[in-house]
Copies of this chain bind each other. A is one copy, B any other.
């Protein structure tokens, strides 16, 4: 567990600080509010790497003009429940939130909605938009491409992205949300291990000389992270990039690699709204039984119990809501000074 418990900040305090920094950078009031909330929620949910810890880089990219604070997504094409939007290099988290909302709007009317987004920026925590969908009673499948940060199976150079893939299922007693990049650890997570001087639990990348390693520094430097499920995760990353590119009309990892900075990403947001009047309330009970059954599975020797995707998040969220969000004092100071 990588966390810094020296300093805990109340949710509202963090959100207000971030909001102020954003309005100061030209974000409209409601955009600043939403962005600040999403950053704070990510930290509150324990995804520190994509919450507060990422805020200084976000502001830096606004200052450099990479993230255009006042741009809004624009619809380019549509065919039935399939829509293509241009993110116009606006804030990645706000663009993604907007597209998930739009996908749900289509889904509520037609069962399914599929919104593809091009020319957007890093969406920060992908899971955010899975929770967003589940909070609104929708099943969701969404993904983003990234810059090249993973080796394809059989290759040695980081030419493909670790393209995070998020799946969400709503449930009254706790949504089931899976948020996974195709490398075993995200670069954010590897940086946390590095910062704490810890080795990664698995050999999950090559160093610059092509040797397998679990040293986070070597992998962060070489960008040669291995696909988590070897040829399977490599294949999945390639497919997700291709589908995102075709549907969004945007850039592929191949093209993003040629830029100095990771921007102009392509994403897909699929919402499915099984009409409750039709699909039945008994489904909810069954989902509960599947989850309970999973939790009651015999744990492996070194494990306490088997958890469902999203279970740990809810626990951390509750704790951090109560005790305050743990922050790295250095980063907290840095954000205050932005």
- In the assembled complex, which residues on chain B have CB atoms less than 8 Å from the CB atom of A159? 293-294, 297
Residues on the B chain within 8 Å of A246, using CB: 139, 169, 274, 279, 283, 287
Which of these, B239, B247, B275, B309, contacts A178 with CB under 8 Å?
Answer: B239
A210-B301 Cα distance, complex, nearest whole Å:
9
Measured in the bound complex, the distance between the Cα atoms of B299 and A200 in whole Å is 25
Q: A176-B239, A238-B308 are in contact. Are A184 and B110 (CB under 8 A)?
A: no
Pick the contact of A139 from B77, B157, B160, B243 — CB < 8 Å?
Answer: B243
CB neighbours (8 Å) of A230 from chain B are: 184, 202, 228-229
Question: B236 touching A294 by the CB < 8 A rule?
Answer: no
| B152 A297 Cβ-Cβ under 8 A | yes
CB pair A180 B235 closer than 8 Å: yes
CA distance A299 to B240 in the complex (A): 22
A114 on the B face (CB < 8 A) = yes
CB pair A249–B154 under 8 Å, yes or no, is no
Known A176-B242, A233-B229: A294·B160 in contact at CB below 8 Å: yes
* CB closest chain-B residue, reference A160: B294
Answer whether A169 and B81 are a contact pair too, CB < 8 Å, given A236-B178, A299-B156. Answer: no
Could you give, for residues 133-157 of chain A, a 1 whenever the CB lies within 8 Å of some chain B CB and a 0 otherwise?
0000001010000000001111111
Q: Is A9 an interface residue (CB 8 A)?
A: no
Chain B residues contacting A243 (CB-CB under 8 Å) are: 139, 141, 167, 169, 272
Q: Is there contact, CB below 8 Å, between B233 and A114?
A: no
A-B contact pairs, 7 of them (CB 8 A): A154-B300, A155-B298, A160-B294, A169-B239, A180-B232, A184-B232, A241-B290
Name A residues whose Cβ lies closer than 8 Å to a Cβ of B.
77-82, 84, 109-112, 114, 139, 141, 151-157, 159-160, 165, 167, 169, 176, 178, 180, 182, 184, 202, 210, 227-230, 232-233, 235-236, 238-243, 245-247, 249, 252, 254, 270, 272-275, 278-280, 283, 286-287, 289-290, 293-294, 297-301, 303, 305-309
